Structure formats: structure tokens, C-alpha cells
Amino acid sequence: MSLLFLTLGVALPTISGWLLLRAIEGTIPVLSHLERWAAGFIIGLTGTMYVTFLAHILGFIRLDFWGFLAVQITFASLLAASNLLRQRRHRRSEPFCSSADQHSEKPVCTERRPTRFGFVGQASAARFLLCVLLIWTSIKIIAASATFLLTPLYVDDAIDNWNMRGKLIFHHQELVLGFPGDPQPTDGGTYAYPPTVSMTKAWLAILADSWSEPLVNSIHIVWYLALLALLFGTVRATIGLWFGLLGLYIFGSLPLPLLHATNPYADMFLAAHIGAAACFLLRALRLPDSVRSLRFLLLASLSIALLPFTKNEGLVLYFPALALALALAIFSLARQSILHRRDVIRASLFMLVITSSVLLPWLFFKWMHGFSFGNAKGLPNILEFSWNPMSLRAIVSNTIFEGNWLLLFPLFASLLLWQWRRAFTFPLLPLSVSFLLAYVLQIALFTFTPLATEAIKQTGYARGVIHLIPLVILLTVLLLHETLQNPRRDPHDPLYSTPCLPTPRSSGISRK
């Protein structure tokens, strides 16, 4: 029954997300079916809960069954009507349900490029081994999901944050800003966290008419699987199927992300949004025509705009880093004359409008209730600087010498040093800069502020790395691909930015 209620609970938000992405794509689809459904779930669920939040605080609905359902039906209906109107206006354009899989998303390479290990097309043994590893990883994910979802977790945020706030919404049918018997503090604490995850859990419990821990926690594995699918679809469309499967295996084999995909923390939820933004930015920078690049920039803008309504870190750390990455992407495409002035203005205005529509109401809500902008601690407490030497030792140990990430970070650091010219050259520059900016800020917070205890106890730092794992996976696979293809190729070679041009089809876009 849990699977039934989970499916019913995410159906309308996912459809709304799908329709929203199609509306942004316009008459020329740029996403494959897999990418659109995965990103539609991630963006649609958060967007729907944000609209529900606005309707509730404005007094239009209660957070009961009919309130949630009314918002979801209205939101999906408006998006469907918008898409139908667009379809009627462009009957001679691309079919409404066409996909990027049918035309330009498959790369076309006319020659087989040699690598250090021979030709890529001859690596049948490596491909067979990769398939075996993927099967084994799938078994691990299924077994771990079944085990962990049925095992209650009693620690920290698992009991006094996301699930507890969801229970309060479920029982009171309204957004409760304080816990029973606990006076609301002036600086917020966990009360100041965005309610997206808690509202989602409350909606699932309302559908089942009872609070079930396996049911409300199962939403986390869906975020995990959606991020897996989105990363695979992006890498497959960018550098090929087998490297997409390699990225799928690397991410699926990491122990800590899988653990967080089955417990009541919100770190995988935030990682999914960061991954969506990173994937769209990468795709925008690797396309040689303005129409498709602009579509991906708009999709990335939507993903970035929703970050403030995910977790407090999404607002303080990752929103500025990814907004900078978006600005770098627009600058690069404009400098290459891929984007014209009109496209730059359109992308900038879209980012400004969509960000303001999410950020300003949420900031006003926090300000009205005296909530802080820090994570668990208010900013005045966080900014009490002091040197904590033990935190660096804990960070190094957690990153390299423990089993949370296996060998991912030694491999990533080696590739980043070996391929530093390519890592800090377009199209990878925005991803590299956003990762380093967010990661360095995390290291500074865990080393020079009272948040050092989060690193020493190996709690907050490890969860912060989970947020950046999509960026690490993308950069690792892309740099590994470049190393194997031709390690001595000039990073300024135009083939590096657009190694495989899109197939010319009826869309009217021809190969340059």
C-alpha cells in the first residue's frame, strides 16, 4: 500500500513539473523523455509545495486533503492549458510529445578517436564488467532501500526536524512554527527551515490517512533515483551511453548517498536540485545553437530559483554559487556569439523574475517571523570566528580515509589536477567554479566558526558533501572521458566545447 500512496502522492506534482519543463522548452524539445520525467519530479514537487505554501499563508487553503489536492489540480490544469494553447499556435512546429531522443540529442561522431587503451569501440571487456557492476549496484540499492526504510532512525534531525514538522502539519492541518511545549525562539532554529520536505511527508500521510514512517521516508529514495536518472541522461547525451552508465555506477556505489536516500534527512533532496541545475548548465554550454542553449539556460534558472525553498544551505551557499555559474555560462555563450543580445536579455530577465517570485516571498516570511538565515544556528552565532585545528583532521579523514565516498575523491582530485586546463576552461568552468566556491565556503565554516563541531563529529560536513556530489560526478566522468579520449588535446580546440554536433533534422537547425 505504501507504494500505491507514494505513486498517487507524486503523480500530479510530477505531471505539473513535466508540463512546466515542456512550457519552457517551447516548440523545440531539448530534453529526453527520461530527463524530462526525472527533472519534472524534482522541480514539480518542490514547485507544487511552494505554491501550496503560498496559498496557505495567504489564507486560501488549509493543509488538509482538499487543500493540497485543490492546489495540485489547479496548478496542473493551468500548465496543461498553457501547453495546449502553445500547441495550437504552433501546429506546424515540433509535435507536442516529441522528444530530444528523436532528433538532436544523439551525438554524431564521424571518426573513432584513439585512446591510451586502443579504440573506445573495442573495449567490450570493460563494458561487460561495467554491466556486471551495474547489476550488482542495482541489487545493493534495492536491498538497502528495503532494509533501511523498514528500520526506524532515531537521531538528531531524523526525529526533531523534517518528520516531526510533517507530523505537526498532518495533525494540525496547518503550518506549525513551533513544537509542542517548546517556545518559538527568536532566531528560528529548525523552525526556520523551508517546509517543502515536511509538507510532502504530510501530504503522503494524509493520502494514507495515517502517519507511516516507511511511507513518508520512501520519498527520499525517489529523489535519489530521479537524480541518478538525470545524471545518466545528461552524461549519455553529452559524451555517450557507456560513460553515462559509468557515472550511474559511480554514484550508485557510494555508501553515504544511498544511506541518505532512505532516511529522514533532506540532503538528497537538496542534492537533486543542485544536480538538475548543474546538468542543465552543462547541456547549455555544449550546444552550438542559440535556441537550444537558451532553453537549457532557462531550465537551469528555474532549478536555481527553487534552491532557497529547499534548505537553508540552498539559500546561503548554493544559490550564490550556481547563480554565478549561470552568469558565467551566459557570458561564455554570448562571447562565442551563440547567444545574441536578445537571448541574453531574455535569459537574464527570466532568472530575475523566477528568482524574485520564489526568493522574495520566502525572505519576507522569514523576516516576519524573526527566523534566521543560518543552518540550525543564526548568522550572528556562526560568524563568531575562531580557529579549530581538529576540524581539518576530521575533514581529511572523512573525505579520504573512510568508506563514505570510497575512492571517488582521490580520483576526482587527481583528474582535477591532471586536467586542470580543461576543468577551468569552458564548458566545464562554471561547474568547477561553483563546486570550488561552495566547497571552500563549507571548509571555512567548519574550520573557523562554531560549526566546527559538525565536522569533528562527522555529521554536518559529510552531509554538505552530499549536496555537491552531482557536481563531483559530472566533473569526474567528463574529465575521465577527456583523459581517455586524447589527454594531450588542446582545451581550446573547438571540438572540446562541441565534440559532436547535433544531427540536422526538420527543426531547421543545420550543422555548422
DSSP string for 52-109: HHHHHHTTS--SSHHHHHHHHHHHHHHHHHHHHHHHHHTTTSS-TT--GGGTTTS---
Instruction: Identify the three-state secondary structure at position 1.
Output: coil
Which one-letter amino acid corresponds to residue 185? P
Position 123 scores a pLDDT of 60
Instruction: Identify the three-state secondary structure at position 119.
Output: strand
Position 395 scores a pLDDT of 87
Position 506 scores a pLDDT of 38
List the beta bridge partners of residue 114: 119
Residues of the chain scoring pLDDT < 50: 94-122, 186, 490-512
Nearest CA among 186, 268, 285 for reference residue 220: 268
Instruction: Express each pLDDT in 476-505 by its tens digit.
Output: 999 999 888 765 554 444 434 444 433 333
List the beta bridge partners of residue 8: none
Position 61 scores a pLDDT of 93
Neighbours of 99 (CB within 10 A): 17
Task: Report the distance separating Cα 254 and Cα 224, nearest Å.
Answer: 12
Position 381 scores a pLDDT of 56
CA angle 282–287–293, rounded 5-degree value: 80
Grid cell, residue 129, equals 564488467
Query: pTM of the prediction?
Result: 0.87
Task: Report the distance separating Cα 42 and Cα 44, nearest Å.
Answer: 6
| Alpha-carbon distance values, 92 to 87, 102, 506 (Å) | 9, 17, 11
List, as one string, the DSSP characters of 429-482.
HHHHHHHHHHHHHHHHHHHHSTTHHHHHTTSHHHHHHHHHHHHHHHHHHHHHHH
Position 57 scores a pLDDT of 93
Instruction: Express each pLDDT in 161-213 by its tens digit.
Output: 888 889 999 999 998 877 666 655 545 556 778 999 999 999 999 999 999 88
Across the chain, mean pLDDT equals 83
Position 493 scores a pLDDT of 46
Residue 154 DSSP code: -
